[in-house]
Amino acid sequence: MIAPLACVIPAYNAAATLANVLRELRVALPHAALIVVDDGSDDATHAIACATDARVIAFRRNRGKGAALRAAFAETLALGVSAVLTMDADGQHDARYAPAVLDALTCADVAIGTRARDGGAMPLGRRLTNALASSAVGSIVGVPIADAQSGFRAMRRQVLEHVHAHGERYEFETDFLIQAGRAGYRIASVPIPTIYGTPSHFRAVRDSMRVVRTIWRGRYRATQ
């Protein structure tokens, strides 16, 4: 496993799940720096984050997951870490798989915690959009992408230094993969459990359209 490490957790109104996520992540990666970005929450998210040993970045208003990740990545580079893990704060990522996702960086530059779309755990609508987005991103970067919408990822420092993704919300993660793949960075997939239950902040129509526009821009750039 690459060290030193930082774990980034974007959090918006995640008071019900954040404490457990941080606790399990600390067990899985006891020496990693934890960075929580409170994305303008109006519940106890900020207080819960501050009660831990995590570094906390707080937005006054909700700016979106992309803005949260961008701010946290700048913080990790300032800390001088060699690798970064990202996890969602809603409890849909099993922290016990964090070491496996990070270990994939021994032979890759970006590792994606990949959820299974079959088996019924993933809602039908998300299953369809995930499959379409993953196929489209894979065709742009020229390598198979099994789960383009997973927020459970690890990346080497040099990727963060050279990939500057666009977008303020969920489309940021899509653009990040497109830019990383087109730049020649190696992308690996690591199987993780498919966990749903807590409500997602992903807006089915508005955020899906943002992702689609990002994919079309990426496809256009790939033909230039």
Provide the CA 59 distance to its chain's centre, in angstroms: 18
State the pLDDT at residue 77: 95
State the pLDDT at residue 149: 85
State the pLDDT at residue 88: 93
Query: Mean of the pLDDT values across residues 107-120?
Result: 82
Please report the sign of the dihedral spanned by the C-alpha atoms of residue 47, residue 195, residue 109, residue 217. Answer: negative
State the pLDDT at residue 204: 55
**In the structure, what pLDDT confidence band is assigned to residue 208 with cuts at 50, 70 and 90?**
low
**In the structure, what pLDDT confidence band is assigned to residue 131 with cuts at 50, 70 and 90?**
confident
Query: Mean of the pLDDT values across residues 44-61?
Result: 97
Which of these, 88, 97, 68, 76, lies nearest to 33 by C-alpha position? 76
State the pLDDT at residue 139: 84
Q: What residue segments make up the domains of the chain, in order of their start?
A: 5-222
CATH architecture assignment, domain 5-222: Alpha-Beta Complex (3.90)
Between CA 79 and CA 102 the distance in angstroms is 18
Between CA 186 and CA 205 the distance in angstroms is 31
State the pLDDT at residue 105: 97
